[in-house]
Amino acid sequence: MKKNLINPLLFGFIISLLSFFPTDGNAQDARTGFSRDTLMKAAREIITGNPYCALVTMDSTGQPQVRTMNPFPLGDEIVIWFATSRKSRKVKEIRNNPKVSVYYADHSNAKGYVNITGTAEIIDDKALLISKKREYWNGIPNWQDKFVLIKITPVALDVISYAKGIGGDPETNRSPVIIF
């Protein structure tokens, strides 16, 4: 009898493990019914449609800290960039613990949300900062010396898109996840 119980458990464990590996762009995820490309397209639409997002860091006591951020426009890759004061709390928090989340949401227009969990890095590169300059920085004296960049490299991306019919698991409400 134990043999019959172990085989289904082992099979379930293997299937669960396989769900963490990304599929190619055209493969359909059996858990969600959506391809990686479909999920990425929905995520990109939500990200590019929101000028602001929330950046979540952890302070020295382990308490999450959330702040509204204005990310730079998304490039070809899902890599999130911000500029911030080099003396900000978030810079200290990221240097202490680079694990972060970035949350984009538009529920009022029935679009959905994207949550990116990833690794943050402080980039102190003046030439790169200047290349990303925003017009409203003109009013900030010596902005080139005051700002650093934050680069978020995704580890996983959760997406719910009401417009595309992408919802959570019917039993757990877990959103579809892309693992990078």
Chain segment 147-156, per-residue pLDDT in tens: 999 999 999 9
User: Measured between alpha carbons, how far is residue 27 from residues 4, 119, 128, 145, 172 in Å?
Assistant: 31, 27, 37, 47, 23
- Both tokens assigned to 86: 């080099």
β partners of residue 100: 118
Whether 142 and 126 have beta carbons less than 8 Å apart is answered as no
Task: Provide the CATH number for the domain formed by 25-179 in this structure.
Answer: 2.30.110.10
φ, ψ dihedrals at 93, nearest 5°: -65, -40
pLDDT in the model for residue 106 = 87
Chain segment 6-20, per-residue pLDDT in tens: 444 433 333 333 343
Sign of CA dihedral 15, 21, 27, 31: positive
Give 104's pLDDT tier (boundaries 50, 70, 90): very high
